[in-house]
Structure 1
Amino acid sequence: MSRRGGRGPLSRFGWVMLALIVIGVGGFLSMLSFGPAEVVVPEVTAPPRQAAAGSSAALAMPIAGYPATALHRDWGDPREGGKRKHQGIDLMAPSGTPVVAALPGTVEKLFDSERGGHTLYIRSLDRRWSLYYAHLKGYAPDVAEGQRVARGQVVGYVGDTGNAGAGNTHLHFGVSWMRAGDRWYQGEPVDPYPLLAGKTASS
């Protein structure tokens, strides 16, 4: 007895239509997002090969009128009998010589330490760089933590405080590359010499 009224098996056309519907639904579901995909941000482990704030032209000489020809590269020199290495550059100058902000930024910390004596930290406006000034005789009268400073603005004076040694007046100048969340005493030190070499006293 034949079956009629659409109750029999699907026709070939019906099977084809069903397959197309399944494929279409599957494709649609594959385009749906069921939650944010995990985004892996690679950790940067070394500072970019550039000077502070983007180029070496942005970094002013940290002692007013200091000739680039007088710079001496002492990065990595042994200190304290080899217990640590020098991470900065020493600029020899008479006591009281004005020290200036080498970058526009914010005075992040004024700090007295056994090694550095009167020290000052300036964070660049983009917060990626920190400038460290040590062995200061004192700070400029209007300098305070949280204060914005312009490039070339006097922030302190050369001295011999800390472990510099009496009469050994100089500025220890350090540059550090800062990661997000780094505080004033953190960061990765960068050799300042190539950032300052070749500059004129007014640059």
Structure 2
Amino acid sequence: MKSILIVAAGALLGAASLFYFLQNEQNNVATTSLEAITLSAPVAGEPVQDAPATGTPPAPEPLAPLAATVLEPVASAVTSSLTRTSAAAAPPAETQAENPSTPEPTAPEPVAATPAPEDNAVTPTPIEPLPLHPGALLIPVTGITAAQLHDTFDDKRGSERSHEALDIMAPLQTPVVAVDDGKVVKLFNSVPGGLTVYQYDASGTFAYYYAHLDSYAADLEEGQELKRGDPIGYVGATGNANALAPHLHFAIFLLGPEKQWWKGTAINPYPLFQR
């Protein structure tokens, strides 16, 4: 770029010198012409031969054509050279488009915080309690139909309490089965109830009570999961039952918040076995 500017300056200086020289030459030519005209002027009385119409010498030609023929081509060449140099120095338009100016960074949008899991705790799916409606439960003594049952829930036992259970009469050693799915929570031999089984339903809402059993089913144990119809034991007359009238004493309790197998609100089983 620097060398180009030096060349351009030299060209302009040369053009100016040439212009000054030509101007001086033209002035000299005009002066010489004037002197020649003066020297050749006719003497008085002599005839004039081919004299010009007037004695005024012709005006010198203007310098504009000289500038147009000398200075303008030089200036044009210098301008063209500078234009080509600037174009070579600037990057092409495509390169500029491929490298746009970096925009100002924008603040990132806030990210909603994800709550941390609480010790990877898994919320168990609650089990809905069994709807207590007619036909919801299996009759616990095999071979007995609903028509053979008698509602003994409100029978008096002494002067201060009701029976609050269903007595299902059946021959001794008749198999007893689970009325519903659930877990065995207690095997107990009590004075009034004899051999007994306490079973919770699958949701832990109700307790099923089987009493006066003659014996338990083989391998029955506490904590065992039962399915509806699984064997529990056999009809007997243990506890305070009449030996001449073997039967199954069956009760249902709605458990309280403490889930105590021996305590709850009694529910009449009889309607649940009617269809």
Q: Same fold (TM over 0.5)?
A: yes
Alpha-carbon separation, structure 1, partners of 2:184 and 2:259: 15
Aligned mates of 1:193, 1:159 — CA distance in 2: 20
Contact 2:136 2:272 in 1 (8 A): no
Greater relative contact order structure (CA < 8 Å, 6+ sep): 1
What is the DSSP-based 3-state SS (H/G/I as helix, E as strand, rest coil) of the residue aligned with 2:198?
Answer: strand
State the Cα distance separating 1:180 from its structure 2 match.
Answer: 2.4
SS in 2 for 1:53: coil
Amino acid at match of 1:74: T
Which amino acid letter does the alignment assign opposite residue 266 of structure 2? P
1:87 & 1:125 partners in 2: Cα distance? 23
Aligned with residue 69 of structure 1, among 139, 147, 150: 147
| Distance across 2 between alignment mates of 1:119 and 1:175 | 13
**Are 2:242 and 1:165 aligned?**
yes
Residue of structure 1 equivalent to 2:255: 178
Q: Which amino acid aligns with 2:156?
A: P
Find the residue that maps to 1:58 and give its secondary structure.
coil
Q: CA deviation at 1:75?
A: 1.1
2:242 alignment partner, SS class: coil
Alignment of 1:122-133 (within 5 A): 122-133=199-210
> 1:147 is matched with which residue?
224
Partners of 2:170 and 2:230 in 1: CA distance = 18
Contact persistence 2:173–2:214 (CA under 8 A): yes
Q: Which runs of 5+ in 2 are unaligned?
A: 1-128
Q: CA deviation at 1:166?
A: 1.4
Which structure's CA Rg is the greater one?
2
Q: Counting helix residues as a fraction of each chain, which structure ranks higher?
A: 2
- What CA distance in whole angstroms lies between the structure 2 residues aligned with 1:185 and 1:179? 11
2:130 is paired with a residue of what secondary structure?
helix
1:175, 1:134 → 2: CA distance?
12
Q: Does 1:82 align with 2:159?
A: yes
Q: Aligned partners of 1:113 and 1:175: how far apart in 2?
A: 18
Deviation at 1:55, TM superposition (A): 4.1
Q: For residues 160 and 238 of structure 2, what CA distance do their matches in structure 1 show?
A: 21
Query: How much has 1:54 moved relative to structure 2?
Result: 1.6
Q: In the alignment, what sits opposite 1:5?
A: none
Q: Which runs of 4+ in 1 moved over 6 A?
A: none
Aligned length: 146
> Normalised by the size of structure 1, how large is the TM-score?
0.69
Equivalence for 2:173 = 96
Read off the aligned partner of 1:147 and give its amino acid letter. Answer: Q
Name the residue aligned to 1:39. Answer: none
SS of 1:64's equivalent in the other structure is coil
Per-residue displacement from partner, 1:132-154 (whole Å, max 9, x unpaired)? Answer: 00100011012100000000111
Q: What is the alpha-carbon distance in structure 2 between the residues aligned to residue 153 and residue 62 of structure 1?
A: 10
- Aligned 8 A contact 2:136 2:273 in 1: no
Q: 2:186·2:261 contact (CA, 8 Å) conserved in 1?
A: yes
* TM value normalised by structure 2: 0.51
- Could you say what the CA RMSD is over the residues aligned between the two structures, in angstroms? 1.2
Which residue does 2:85 correspond to in 1? Answer: none
More strand as a share of residues: 1
Which consecutive unaligned segments of at least 5 residues does structure 1 have? Answer: 1-51, 199-203
Instruction: Indicate whether 1:59 and 2:142 are aligned.
Output: no
